[in-house]
A = this chain, B = another copy of it.
Amino acid sequence: MNIEEMVREQAREAKASSRRLAVTPSPVKDAALRAMADALEENASAILAANAEDMEAAWKKGMPRAMLDRLRLDEKRILGMADGIRQTAMLPDPIGEGEMETIRPNGLEIRRVKVPIGVIGIIYEARPNVTADAAALCLKSGNAALLRGGSEALKSNRAISAILSFAAEAAGVPKGALQFIDSPSRDAVGVMMNCTGLLDVIIPRGGAGLIKRVVAESVVPVIETGAGICHTFVDEGADLDMALRIALNAKTSRPAVCNAMETLLVHERVAKDFLPKMAAAMRKKDVELRGDVATRAVVSDMAEATEEDWATEYDDLILSVKVVKNLDEAIAHINQYNTGHSETIVTNDLNHAHRFQREVDAAAVYVNASTRFTDGFEFGFGAEIGISTQKLHARGPMGLNELTSTKYLIFGEGQIRE
């Protein structure tokens, strides 16, 4: 069987399974999740052996250290995956929840309830933990999953998905609900993107290149996730100690993630007070600074920030800094360069806080807090499949609710339309 036939056949099996999974009761799904978690732990040695083979091949190929670290599994990470699945089992099941109910003048009773989306395709890179996360979230929300992980993690993913599928089906989940594409071929992605009628959505999880390709080429609807050029704006009259704590946290607590700050905007009235302290503190944390002319007039020993800097997600210990005249200029800069992820203002001015939240166009707009909180767990959703930076279907952290669609259920007594 060639790769196209294989992927389409798996998508068809997922779709057939999704019909049954959509009406599988919560207790069956939750028992299956617990069984999946147990099975991961019980089979940890098999997973570690497969992962060791992936790691060796990746190391020989010269995979960069940061990527090797993401690929690597150990006992603790497997326990973490199992714990994540158990936590998903404990979350409320969104399926069947009523969203609205009305009785029309003609007597028709109309209800809208949450239903699964159907079949969710997930395309990701060499992080084997995504296999377990995605499988658990899709199952809990009643969706079949078609998973395509990075080829460097193929053996790890094969082991994990086989263990999860076996445990799920033994616990009563319809056969075929979890499909893993067991092929290193890059063509698999292209086939998935054309599986209209079989896949209901594709969620790419990974770097900007992957996401851009999927958004541009997929005929199946896509939910775009993860691009984050996030800003912190230090307003005039801000508590500058608070501003410094927030800026440091937003930049340095985990610089490679999407909710980290890339650009710091500073009101010109506080630039002289704030910038020197900020620069010293950032440099203590090994942050490279790049500033506009006004910033460099205050702190001279830094490179010039170019147009390209404002539009770059560094995902690294680099920070671009710009002095702005006022709130309007801060909002305009953000709306020009941001990716619609997370933005924060540090201010004591209620009107400025209000305007910033209303006028900045992003999934999450903060007042006096770090952008690093944009996350399904921090928002209280208990889980997260990704952070949507688009405006359709879901925006911001996507939990179980965001993996649902709706259905109108209408009861009549013979009504016809005039």
Chain A contact residues, CB within 8 Å of chain B? 19, 22-23, 102, 104, 108, 110, 112, 117-118, 196, 200-201, 215-216, 219, 221-223, 239, 242, 245-246, 248-250, 253, 335, 353, 357-359, 361-370, 372-374, 378-380, 390-393, 395-396, 405-418
- Are the CB atoms of B416 and A245 closer together than 8 Å? yes
The smallest beta-carbon distance between A336 and chain B, in angstroms, is 11
Q: Which residues of B contact A357 (CB under 8 A)?
A: 407, 409
Q: How distant is the Cα of A177 from the Cα of B233 in the complex, in angstroms? A: 29
- Are the CB atoms of B373 and A415 closer together than 8 Å? yes
Since A108-B378, A366-B411 are in contact, a sample of 18 more A-B pairs with Cβ atoms closer than 8 Å, ordered by chain A residue number, is A23-B359, A104-B378, A104-B380, A108-B369, A117-B392, A201-B392, A216-B219, A245-B416, A246-B416, A249-B417, A364-B410, A368-B414, A370-B417, A372-B417, A373-B415, A395-B405, A395-B406, A396-B406
- Are the CB atoms of B406 and A367 closer together than 8 Å? no
- Are the CB atoms of B359 and A411 closer together than 8 Å? no
The smallest beta-carbon distance between A133 and chain B, in angstroms, is 20
Q: How distant is the Cα of A378 from the Cα of B108 in the complex, in angstroms? A: 10
Query: So how many copies of this chain end up in the complex?
Result: 2
Known contacts A23-B358, A104-B378, A408-B364, A200 near B370 by CB under 8 Å: no
The smallest beta-carbon distance between A218 and chain B, in angstroms, is 9
Across the interface, A373 reaches (CB within 8 A) one of B239, B365, B370, B410, namely B410
The smallest beta-carbon distance between A187 and chain B, in angstroms, is 19
Residue of A108, A110, A253, A407 with most partner-chain B CB within 10 A: A407
- Are the CB atoms of A414 and B201 closer together than 8 Å? no
Q: How distant is the Cα of A374 from the Cα of B23 in the complex, in angstroms? A: 24
- Are the CB atoms of B221 and A390 closer together than 8 Å? yes
Q: Which residues of B contact A222 (CB under 8 A)?
A: 221
- Are the CB atoms of B405 and A373 closer together than 8 Å? no
Q: Which residues of B contact A405 (CB under 8 A)?
A: 391-392, 395
Q: Give me the 3 closest cross-chain CB pairs, A-B, nearest first.
A: A369-B412, A249-B416, A391-B405
Minimal Cβ-Cβ distance residue in B for A365: B409
Q: How distant is the Cα of A365 from the Cα of B22 in the complex, in angstroms? A: 15
Q: Which residues of B contact A19 (CB under 8 A)?
A: 335, 359, 361
Could you jot down 5 A-B contacts, CB within 8 Å?
A: A19-B361, A108-B369, A353-B411, A364-B407, A391-B405
Q: How distant is the Cα of A110 from the Cα of B353 in the complex, in angstroms? A: 14
The smallest beta-carbon distance between A219 and chain B, in angstroms, is 5
Minimal Cβ-Cβ distance residue in B for A346: B414
- Are the CB atoms of B392 and A393 closer together than 8 Å? yes
Q: Which residues of B contact A372 (CB under 8 A)?
A: 416-417
- Are the CB atoms of B335 and A392 closer together than 8 Å? no
The smallest beta-carbon distance between A242 and chain B, in angstroms, is 4
Minimal Cβ-Cβ distance residue in B for A392: B393
- Are the CB atoms of A407 and B363 closer together than 8 Å? yes
The smallest beta-carbon distance between A372 and chain B, in angstroms, is 4
- Are the CB atoms of B362 and A417 closer together than 8 Å? no
Q: Which residues of B contact A216 (CB under 8 A)?
A: 219
